[in-house]
Amino acid sequence: TLQDQEKQLAAAAALRWVRDGMLLGLGTGSTSAQFIIQLGAAVQNGLKVQGTATSLASEALARQLGIPLLEPRRGLRFDLAVDGADELDHQLRLIKGGGGALLREKTLETASDYLLVIADSSKLVPTLGRFPLPLEVVPFTLPWVLDAVAKLGGAPVVRPAVGDPSTPYFTDQRNHIVDCHFGQIADPEQLARQLEQIPGIVEHGLFLGLAKAAIVIQGGQPMVLKP
Ligand code: DER
């Protein structure tokens, strides 16, 4: 589809930012998968990089393509992280977590010197919030988290398992994802602070002040956006 072509284009543009010797954070989702596939080809052609993936799915893809992988260890930092987003605004504030990987994504991207977001044209929005905000939630705490998020106006929904709506989705950490429908989020920083006060929410999908640049397809061309 056109959107797939845009994802491939954004991924190809991001690959040009990669240099020999880099330690890379590898994102999750369909746009990141395009980047990992193209990175794999470059590694086959001699590019010398190592990476750590933000999900078991991305890790399996990277391993299959021969990208050397690094196990988590103390002091490990990344030169560049490349990842998609569900929404981004003009200040490069992000909603992430559509792929259920937001905890590992935020962890590795916080440990990266440079987060580069790659996005098709549908992701850039004037105000965050049309896409429901994902939370990673510890199972035992779910009822109280749902009450607290509802009180904030978040209309929370427990994400069902892919292909089986009668069971809940589980993350790589065996937690649940709660998708919250706040509507337009006028003050993402304030909402992030409020969510961080709710016990049981391991992480939320507002990525604020993390992305240093974004490659977004606009008019069929990859455009580099900075905050
Ligand atoms: O889960 C995530 O944060 C992914 O990066 C997601 O937000 C983007 O997925 P997509 O590239 O498949 O749209």
What is d(CA 210, CA 94) in angstroms, rounded to the nearest whole number?
Answer: 9
The ligand 1 atom nearest the CA atom of 205: 3
Mean pLDDT of the chain: 98
Query: What average pLDDT does range 122-131 have in this prediction?
Result: 98
What is d(CA 91, CA 125) in angstroms, rounded to the nearest whole number?
Answer: 10
Q: From the CB of 29, is ligand 1 less than 6 Å away?
A: yes
99 labelled binding-site residue:
yes
pLDDT band, very low/low/confident/very high, at 69 (cuts 50, 70, 90) = very high
What's the confidence (pLDDT) of residue 34?
98
Give the distance, in angstroms, between the CA of residue 171 and the centroid of all CA atoms in the same chain. 13
pLDDT band, very low/low/confident/very high, at 167 (cuts 50, 70, 90) = very high
What's the confidence (pLDDT) of residue 97?
98
Phi-psi region of 183 (alpha: psi -120 to 50; beta: other; left: phi over 0): left
What is d(CA 191, CA 61) in angstroms, rounded to the nearest whole number?
Answer: 34
The ligand 1 atom nearest the CA atom of 31: 11
| Assessment of whether the complete model's pTM goes beyond 0.80 | yes
200 labelled binding-site residue:
no
**pLDDT tens figures, 29-64:** 999 999 999 999 999 999 999 999 999 999 999 999
pLDDT band, very low/low/confident/very high, at 7 (cuts 50, 70, 90) = very high
Contact 124, 91 (CB under 8 A): no
The residue whose C-alpha atom lies closest to atom 9 belonging to ligand 1 is 29
What's the confidence (pLDDT) of residue 60?
99
pLDDT band, very low/low/confident/very high, at 151 (cuts 50, 70, 90) = very high
Q: Pick the catalytic residue: 6, 59, 87, 105?
A: 105
What's the confidence (pLDDT) of residue 21?
98
Query: What average pLDDT does range 163-176 have in this prediction?
Result: 97
**pLDDT tens figures, 75-126:** 999 999 999 999 999 999 999 999 999 999 999 999 999 999 999 999 999 9
Q: From the CB of 51, is ligand 1 less than 6 Å away?
A: no
Instruction: Please say if 105 is a catalytic residue.
Output: yes
Helix 56-64 and helix 30-44, axial crossing angle in degrees, nearest 10: 30
- The percentage of residues in the chain with a pLDDT greater than 90, rounded to a whole number, is 100
**Residue environment code for 35-59, b if the CB has 16+ CB neighbours within 10 A, otherwise e:** bbebbbeebeeebebebbbbbebbb
85 labelled binding-site residue:
yes
pLDDT band, very low/low/confident/very high, at 188 (cuts 50, 70, 90) = very high
Which of 34, 87, 96 has most ligand 1 atoms within 8 Å of CB, for mutation? 96
What's the confidence (pLDDT) of residue 52?
99
Residue 214, strand partner residues: 117, 225
